[in-house]
């Protein structure tokens, strides 16, 4: 879950909705600089589906007593997250092995610096998965790095949309983005090391350069859950009884 706190409400966006916003960005990516176009469908699938392991979890959000907020993807304990990661990658592998290879690499990197027993077991299993898939497909290291960098970029851009309040000033943006949007090395030749990014108004985000073939319109599905309702009936009931709202946002250059 992606969580933003307001004075009287908590904005909650599922990881799956965030991932599907990432997939919209990937689908609009400029085709002339897409490495190995034959794998484009698999790459777009990976980006759209990369958080599908969170789908069942986000239907029943957990409460974090320490923060006084629902658990987010950033503060949920590692052990359950590893289960969600694995389940999601397993499901994606049934759809498309190359897409699952990208997602496995994505979560492997998240976990690489964790030396806990469960994390190390997860890393070993995912390394085995990656080696097995590479033996079954036509694997190109350079193209794969580009495809992973695209997943990472689209993921970060979607998180910018979801972690920040619409029309937020630069000084109050989420700390991830104080220096703009980082550009992975495989396409920094075209765009430099960072893109400047900001909210122009409540429905428009501006990038200093647009890496898409045209401006992109995405839709955020979110629940704005009143804190009063959470206090009265608990997070599960309050979340389930809050209607989902849709917010359209245009990303332009």
- Alpha-carbon distances, residue 134 vs 34, 62, 66, 105, 106 (angstroms): 21, 37, 42, 12, 15
Query: Over 6-40, what HEC string results?
Result: CCCEEEEECHHHHHHHHHHHHHCECHHHCCCHHHH
Task: Indicate if the alpha-carbon torsion angle 164, 87, 153, 182 is positive or negative.
Answer: positive
Query: Worst-scoring range by mean pLDDT, 16-20, 55-59, 177-181, 202-206?
Result: 177-181
pLDDT at position 23 = 97
User: Which conformational region is residue 68 in: left (phi greater than 0), alpha (psi within -120 to 50 degrees), or beta?
Assistant: left
Q: What are 106's two structure tokens?
A: 């994505």
Categorize the per-residue pLDDT at 189 as very low, low, confident or very high, splitting at 50, 70 and 90.
confident
Q: Give the tens place of pLDDT for each residue, 129-166.
A: 999 999 999 899 999 999 999 999 999 999 999 999 99
pLDDT confidence of 184, banded at 50, 70, 90? confident
pLDDT, tens digit, for every residue of 93-124? 999 999 999 999 999 998 988 889 999 999 99
Instruction: Read off the pLDDT of residues 53-81 as tens digits, 9 standing for 90 and up.
Output: 999 999 999 999 999 999 999 999 999 99
Confidence tier at 83 by pLDDT (50, 70, 90)? very high
Using pLDDT thresholds of 50, 70 and 90, give the confidence band for residue 34: confident
Alpha helices by DSSP H, listed for 70-186, are 78-95, 97-111, 117-136, 141-163
CA distance 174 to 168: 9
- Count how many Cα atoms sit within 13 Å of the Cα of residue 203 in the half-sphere of its side chain: 5
Strand partners, 194: 182
Q: Which residue has the higher pLDDT, 172 or 123?
A: 123
């Amino acid at each position: 879950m992606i969580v933003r706190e307001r004075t009287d409400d908590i904005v909650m966006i599922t990881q799956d909705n965030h991932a599907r916003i990432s997939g919209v960005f990937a689908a609009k990516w400029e085709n002339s600089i897409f490495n190995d176009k034959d794998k484009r469908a698999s790459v777009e699938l990976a980006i759209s589906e990369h958080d599908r392991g969170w789908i069942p979890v986000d239907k029943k959000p957990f409460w974090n007593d320490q923060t006084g907020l629902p658990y987010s993807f950033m503060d949920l304990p590692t052990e359950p997250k590893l289960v969600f990661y694995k389940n999601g990658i397993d499901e994606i592998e049934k759809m498309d092995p190359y897409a699952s290879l990208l997602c496995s690499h994505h979560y492997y990197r998240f976990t690489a610096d964790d030396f806990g027993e469960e994390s190390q077991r997860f890393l070993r299993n995912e390394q085995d998965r990656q080696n097995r898939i590479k033996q079954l497909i036509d694997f190109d290291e350079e193209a794969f790095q580009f495809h992973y960098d695209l997943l990472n970029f689209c993921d970060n851009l979607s998180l910018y949309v979801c972690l920040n309040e619409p029309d937020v000033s630069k000084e109050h943006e989420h700390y991830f983005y104080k220096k703009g949007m980082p550009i992975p090395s495989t396409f920094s030749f075209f765009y430099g090391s960072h893109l400047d990014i900001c909210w122009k108004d409540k429905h428009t985000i501006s990038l200093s350069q647009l890496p898409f073939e045209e401006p992109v319109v995405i839709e955020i599905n979110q629940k704005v859950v009143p804190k009063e309702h959470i206090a009265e009936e608990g997070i599960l009931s309050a979340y389930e009884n809050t209607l989902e709202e849709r917010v359209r946002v245009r990303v332009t250059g």
